[in-house]
Chain A
């Protein structure tokens, strides 16, 4: 089984391949697969020219401790930026997504990957994620039905609603 992709509020097949560094691989030497590939930041940084020359559609994977600031100049290259949640309680990815959207005005797909669970979908969507690789074994149908609509609104300004509630009061 693999993660189930939720995008545009439907369950979809994932057409992207995420490149993983195996034991002994280095970003400099590993073979780059063809197709739609999500590259780890280290590989992108080491092989940028090569990737650009042979890939039309490029994705980037950011780990919790990787800073958006370090790729800020490259964002136009990416069709998708995947943000990893190794544990769902590690909330750094929320700030990463918020920065991508709010500060760098990144318009492509922002995808939550890793331990992505039903009860985080509402918050993820608020900060600017628009696709979600729901953890394997979890109920995508129920997530679609209930996960995004846990709350009907929010007090704070965030990506999906840039005005706080108090500025929207009649």
Chain B
């Protein structure tokens, strides 16, 4: 994993000093609230429903055990002993005090962490595939370029005050796991004539106006990603709308100009920067890539017989192996997902004790490193097959072994109305109610692969548009309601879900999900997954079942009246 050198350390330390000074000037009145707001946002500090909310970056999802231990101690010392992993490789603390944040940043800087540009209208944390470097289907490891991009985005002098936030994702596999179609810029690996490069996708995004990105350049050799991003950002910085925050994302500019005209502007701008100083040198690539070399994998054959015996003897272990371990490119190893989706807990939440357990597991079994997935789980990327049973036992004891990865209850969920000021509705209780309803593991496994995503409002922090089942909190006459979409998906065939119909109350939601699942179970053929059945039979059978006998509109109002 990347280790800071002198310059990286110096800049992060200078940032801490700068923010400490900004807090001081804000407290003394030298900085007004309006002047301070963008400064604190660019250090990850929101003011939310109950308290400030503080977002710490986990650049392209990589962390070591020392960093996680520091997060555990920071959460305990300055917060309530837990944190929340987001869908964008960040950790959020829900209850810190603003005055403490400079001290928190100092502790983080000591382990090479920061909160730089985790919020605000600027270049945000770079995201990528959580299995980078170990995925069996990987063509190139995206992490060296992700780190080079991280440095380029950090304190970029020209792009610190953009019209709106800007998120870049990079993927290095055939199967896109970085949601590149739904980022401001998505860099999707492509090889052409033996050269490695990227397809550049611009203007995707979820939120209030969900739009799939469009291809601005089919093939960009990797050396040019900085100069090309620079051209895109300059066009956006100059011409993106600033009069209306809801229309300020680059997706709106791309739509307004049309992708051809937008591309023309970018290419014209790039003519000036192409082959200029921002072109990445082989030397720099090699320097950074040297930090991401493979760990010292053991050449000994894995002790498969032991694991096979345990699997046959213990069903819970077998289940966990099936759902929570993943193919590794090195024989005898597996990647493990530690589930932060224990039923009844806010999805993505992790306590300080759990963080410490994970850090210990990482040290003992996975070369001291771990990753955060955009599904809000923790990954141990390099576990020996022979250690899987021990890892499972420890994870189970810590409540981190729920075997629901990719299943219905492995829900992706935003903080929603319990924490977030912008929420229309609570989201965590909906997730928990659905988990309670589907608590039977046999049934859960029988239902099979399905993504359920919940957002508390149209900002879509829970990616509900790309859930196979998406749940969106809406406000109906000051009451919390939920709109359901079906058929959304991420990956190469990324698509937005379709709205099934009028929204539901919180109490109805577990039943609604149960009915949707029933329709699938009744209709599925052979090995069909939920999505396959949905694609074959369409939305109507689901709609009919869900609204069967359910009065809506006037009839419903009349019913209420009568009650």
Question: Is B263 an interface position by the 8 A CB rule?
Answer: no
B157 touches A155 (CB 8 A): no
Residue count of chain A within 8 Å CB distance of chain B: 40
Question: Is A103 an interface position by the 8 A CB rule?
Answer: yes
B154 touches A155 (CB 8 A): yes
A127 touches B152 (CB 8 A): no
How far does the Cβ of A92 sit from chain B's closest Cβ, in whole Å?
Answer: 6
Residue count of chain B within 8 Å CB distance of chain A: 41
Q: What does the 1/0 interface line of A103-124 toward B look like (CB < 8 Å)?
A: 1000000000000011110111
How far does the Cβ of B141 sit from chain A's closest Cβ, in whole Å?
Answer: 18
Q: How far is the CA of A103 from the CA of B271 in the complex (A)?
A: 11
**Which 6 pairs show the lowest CB-CB distances between chains A and B?**
A91-B161, A126-B157, A166-B284, A123-B157, A155-B151, A157-B277
How far does the Cβ of A67 sit from chain B's closest Cβ, in whole Å?
Answer: 8
**B121, B156, B283: the one within 8 Å of A89 (CB):** B121
Q: What does the 1/0 interface line of A85-100 toward B look like (CB < 8 Å)?
A: 0001111101110100
Interface of B is mostly: helix
A88 touches B161 (CB 8 A): yes
> Which residues of the partner chain A approach B287 to less than 8 Å between Cβ atoms?
166, 169
Question: Is A162 an interface position by the 8 A CB rule?
Answer: yes
> Which residues of the partner chain B approach A167 to less than 8 Å between Cβ atoms?
277, 281, 284
B155 touches A151 (CB 8 A): yes
Q: Please name 8 pairs of A and B residues whose Cβ atoms are closer than 8 Å in the assembled complex, sorted by A.
A: A88-B35, A89-B38, A103-B272, A123-B155, A123-B160, A154-B157, A155-B152, A156-B156
Question: Is B234 an interface position by the 8 A CB rule?
Answer: yes
Question: Is B238 an interface position by the 8 A CB rule?
Answer: yes
Interface of A is mostly: loop
B237 touches A166 (CB 8 A): no
Question: Is A76 an interface position by the 8 A CB rule?
Answer: no
> Which residues of the partner chain B approach A150 to less than 8 Å between Cβ atoms?
14, 18
> Which residues of the partner chain A approach B278 to less than 8 Å between Cβ atoms?
156-157, 164
Q: What does the 1/0 interface line of B1-20 toward A look like (CB < 8 Å)?
A: 00000010011001100100
The residues in B between 223 and 281 inclusive whose CB is less than 8 angstroms from any CB of A are 226, 234, 237-238, 242, 272, 276-278, 280-281
Question: Is A63 an interface position by the 8 A CB rule?
Answer: no
Closest to A96 in B: B238
> Which residues of the partner chain B approach A90 to less than 8 Å between Cβ atoms?
161, 242
A157 touches B276 (CB 8 A): yes
Question: Is B314 an interface position by the 8 A CB rule?
Answer: no
Q: How far is the CA of A163 from the CA of B226 in the complex (A)?
A: 13
The residues of A with any CB-CB pair to B shorter than 8 Å are 67, 88-92, 94-96, 98, 102-103, 117-120, 122-124, 126-127, 138-139, 146, 150-158, 162-167, 169
**A88, A138, A155: the one within 8 Å of B155 (CB):** A155
Question: Is B397 an interface position by the 8 A CB rule?
Answer: no
B161 touches A95 (CB 8 A): no
Q: How far is the CA of A139 from the CA of B25 in the complex (A)?
A: 11
A95 touches B158 (CB 8 A): yes
Q: Given that A155-B151, A156-B278, A167-B277 are known contacts, is A139 also in contact with B160, CB under 8 Å in the complex?
A: no
How far does the Cβ of B124 sit from chain A's closest Cβ, in whole Å?
Answer: 15
> Which residues of the partner chain B approach A163 to less than 8 Å between Cβ atoms?
277
The residues of B with any CB-CB pair to A shorter than 8 Å are 7, 10-11, 14-15, 18, 21-22, 25, 30-31, 35, 38-39, 121, 148, 151-152, 154-162, 226, 234, 237-238, 242, 272, 276-278, 280-281, 283-284, 287
> Which residues of the partner chain A approach B161 to less than 8 Å between Cβ atoms?
88-91, 94, 120
Which one of B35, B38, B281 has the highest number of Cβ atoms from chain A below 10 Å of its Cβ? B35
B158 touches A127 (CB 8 A): yes
> Which residues of the partner chain B approach A103 to less than 8 Å between Cβ atoms?
272
Closest to B38 in A: A89
**B14, B22, B284: the one within 8 Å of A119 (CB):** B22
> Which residues of the partner chain A approach B272 to less than 8 Å between Cβ atoms?
102-103
> Which residues of the partner chain B approach A96 to less than 8 Å between Cβ atoms?
238
Q: How far is the CA of A22 from the CA of B164 in the complex (A)?
A: 32
A156 touches B152 (CB 8 A): yes
> Which residues of the partner chain B approach A91 to less than 8 Å between Cβ atoms?
158-162, 237
Q: How far is the CA of A154 from the CA of B226 in the complex (A)?
A: 15
Closest to B277 in A: A157
Q: How far is the CA of A66 from the CA of B481 in the complex (A)?
A: 46
Q: How far is the CA of A5 from the CA of B31 in the complex (A)?
A: 19
**B14, B237, B277: the one within 8 Å of A152 (CB):** B14
Q: How far is the CA of A120 from the CA of B22 in the complex (A)?
A: 12
Q: How far is the CA of A102 from the CA of B161 in the complex (A)?
A: 20
B22 touches A154 (CB 8 A): no
Q: Given that A153-B11, A166-B281 are known contacts, is A94 also in contact with B152, CB under 8 Å in the complex?
A: no
Q: Given that A150-B14, A164-B277 are known contacts, is A94 also in contact with B160, CB under 8 Å in the complex?
A: yes
> Which residues of the partner chain B approach A164 to less than 8 Å between Cβ atoms?
152, 226, 277-278
Extra contacts, 15 of them, besides A96-B238, A151-B14, A166-B283 (Cβ < 8 A), are A91-B237, A94-B157, A95-B158, A95-B234, A123-B160, A127-B158, A138-B30, A146-B21, A151-B155, A153-B7, A153-B11, A155-B11, A157-B277, A164-B152, A166-B280
B281 touches A156 (CB 8 A): no
How far does the Cβ of B540 sit from chain A's closest Cβ, in whole Å?
Answer: 48
> Which residues of the partner chain B approach A117 to less than 8 Å between Cβ atoms?
35
